[in-house]
Amino acid sequence: MNSQEYDTLDKLLRRIHNLGSVSGLLGWDELVNLPADSADQRAEQSAAMAQVCHAASTDPELGQALNALEANIDSLNEEKRIVVREARKDFDRSAKLPVEYVQRKARLDSAAYHAWAHAKQNSDFSEFAPFLQKQVDAAKEFATYLGWEDRAYDCLIDLHDPGMDAATIDGLFSELKEELVPIVGHIVNASTKPDTSIFRNFPIEEQRAFLNEITAALGFNYKRGRIDESLHPFCGGNGADIRMTTRFDKDNPLDSLFSAIHETGHGMYEQGLPLDQLHNALGQAAGMGAHESQSRLWENQVCRSRAFWNRYESDFRTRFPQQLDGISSDALYLAINSVSKNPIRVDSDEVTYNLHIIIRFEIEKRIFDGSLPIDGVPDAWNSLYDELLDIQPRNDAEGALQDVHWSSGSFGYFPSYCLGNMLAAQLWYTALEQLEGLERDIEKGEFSRLLSWLREAVHSKGKRYPLNALAIEAIGSALSPKALIAYLKERYLPLYTQP
C-alpha cells in the first residue's frame, strides 16, 4: 500500500514542481524582458498561475497520500521519510492560505515591484511606502494563517531558513558586530588607500566575455542555464534550467563580474542537487542561508583571493589592455579588494557588507514589532547607516529604496546573506583542511575539487537538515561568526597598513 501511496505523492509533487517552474519563468521574464507597459497583464498572468499552483499544492489527493504514508511511516526508508516530512510542511502551509489571498499577493508582488522601480528612479520613498505597507500587512496576514500571529517576523525568517528565529540571529549578529566595527575602523583609517578610479571605460562586451569565461571555468553548466541582464542581479530556476542575471556599468566592471560570480554560486548549488529529485526535498536547497553560503564562498573566498587573480589577471589585462596599462599587480589586487564606506549594499565590499545586513535586520525587526511606522523607515535607515558605517545616504535611491526585496514582501530574507557569509567562511576553512593544495588548484584555474567537495558536503544533502544542523553535518560545528571574523582579518588587515 505504501508503495502505491508514495508513487501518488511523487506524481503530485512533480506536478507542483513543474507548475512552480512555469510560474518562475514568468517572474524571470518580468524582470528581464517584459515591455514597460505590459506590467498590468503580467500581474493578472501571475495571479492566474498562483491560483493554479495553490490548487495543486492543496490537492486533497496529496493530503490523502500523506495521511496514508504517515500512518505507516516506520515502513519507509529514511529518504522517503524526509520527503514525506517536508511535503507535509509544504502542504499544511499551502492549505492554510486562502486562494483569494494567494491571488491577491501575486498581484501585489507584481504591482509593488513596478512601484519600487519607479520610486527608485525618482528617488521618492513616498511613492513606494503604500506598497511596502501592503506587503507588511500581507506578511502579517500570512503569519496569522500559519498560526504565527504573535511571531510574524520569526515566521518569515523560518520560511527562508528553517529553524532560525530573530533571537538566535540577534545573538550571532551581536557577536559579529562587536568584532566587525573595529575591523572596519582599522581599514578605513589606514594609510593604504586603493585607487578604484582605475576602473573606467571598460567596454561592456568585453566585460560580458570575461565573466562568461570565469563563470564557465568555475563550473556553471551553460547547457542548463543562461545569464541575462536585469535591474537587480538574481538567480532563479532549478538545476534543470537556471536563469541568472547581472548588470553592466562601463565604469564599474567589478559589479558585473562579482554579481555574475555570486549568482553562479547559487546556480551551481542548484545544478548540484539531484536532477531526478528536484520535485521533492531530496533535490531542494536547505534554505537561503545555505544558498548564500555557496554564492558568497565563490564570490569572496575564491574569486577575490590572490590565488585566483594570479591565474586570471593576465586574462583580465588582455581584455582591457588600455584601461590597465601602467597599473601594477598590487594596485590592481588592492582595488579589487577595496574597502570603503559605500552606501549601496550590492556595491559594498565583503568587510562592510555584513553591517549593511545588520541594518536591514534591525529595521525589519522594528517594522514587525510595531515600533517603526513605514513612513519612518528612511530616517531609521539613515540613522543606522550613520551609526554603524558613518554614512549619510544622499537620497532615497541611495538609502531605503536601494534593494528590490521588500517589493516582493521578502522580509526575513536579508539575514540569510550574513548567515551565509558565516557558513561560507566555516566551509572555506574546512575545505582548506581537507583538500590539500586547494589554493594551488585555484592558482591554476582548477575548481573541480572544491566544487565536488561542496557537492558532497552541502549540495547532496538537499533539504535533509535545517541550517544549523547542516553546518554541523558539513563542518562538525554549529553556525558561528568566528570563522568569518578570522577570515576577514586574514584577508584584509595585511592589505591595509596603519599610518
In this predicted model, what pLDDT tens digit does every residue of 456-468 receive, in sequence order?
999 999 999 999 9
Residue 1: what pLDDT? 57
For residues 205 and 319, is the Cβ–Cβ distance under 8 A?
no
For residues 298 and 350, is the Cβ–Cβ distance under 8 A?
no
Residues carrying an active site annotation: 263
What does the alpha-carbon distance between residue 356 and residue 349 come to, in Å, rounded to a whole number? 10
Over the stretch 373-415, which tens digit does the pLDDT of each residue have?
A: 999 999 999 999 999 999 999 999 999 999 999 999 999 999 9
Task: Tell me which fold the domain 166-495 belongs to.
Answer: Neurolysin; domain 3 (1.10.1370)
For residues 346 and 487, is the Cβ–Cβ distance under 8 A?
no
Is residue 35 very low, low, confident or very high in pLDDT (cuts 50, 70, 90)?
very high
Residue 36: what pLDDT? 85
Residues 6+ apart with CB under 8 A from 145: 96, 97, 98, 101
What does the alpha-carbon distance between residue 378 and residue 357 come to, in Å, rounded to a whole number? 16
What does the alpha-carbon distance between residue 173 and residue 180 come to, in Å, rounded to a whole number? 10
Q: Per the structure block, which three cell numbers stand in for 207?
A: 566585460
> What are the residue boundaries of the structural domains of the chain, listed by start?
2-127, 166-495
Q: 285: helix, coil or strand? A: coil
Alpha helix (H) residue ranges in 189-321: 204-218, 253-272, 288-296, 306-319
Is residue 3 very low, low, confident or very high in pLDDT (cuts 50, 70, 90)?
confident
Residue 9: what pLDDT? 97
Mean pLDDT of 225-243: 94
Average pLDDT for the chain: 96
What does the alpha-carbon distance between residue 299 and residue 269 come to, in Å, rounded to a whole number? 13
For residues 21 and 238, is the Cβ–Cβ distance under 8 A?
yes
For residues 11 and 225, is the Cβ–Cβ distance under 8 A?
no
Backbone angles phi, psi at 242, to 5 degrees: -100, 130
